[in-house]
Amino acid sequence: MKRIFSRQQRLTVVYGILCIVLILVILQLWLLTATMNAYLGGDEGVIRPAAGASAVCLALNLGLLRYLYRIERPNP
């Protein structure tokens, strides 16, 4: 059984997803800055863990986008 959300409920979900995406993007920007600072300082050991963390953030964002498309799809 597919759950039907009202317009107000969907708007609340969209705002929540938007806040989470904003936090993840800020995290990725901080991660890029910290990684570049460490790399330019001569520490190459942080590159792979930072790339992994960035890939996890990307996967979370794509999952949230997929969920958003799923709740916005019109019901038959």
Q: Break the chain into its structural domains and give their ranges.
A: 21-72
What pLDDT score does 74 carry?
65
**Residues 46-66, mean pLDDT to the nearest whole number:** 95
2 pLDDT more than 90: no
More confident residue, 21 or 73: 21
As a three-state string, the secondary structure of the chain is: CCCCCCHHHHHHHHHHHHHHHHHHHHHHHHHHHHHHHHHHCCCCCCHHHHHHHHHHHHHHHHHHHHHHHHHHCCCC
Q: How confident is the model at residue 50 (pLDDT cuts 50, 70, 90)?
A: very high
Q: How confident is the model at residue 51 (pLDDT cuts 50, 70, 90)?
A: very high
For the chain, the average pLDDT equals: 90
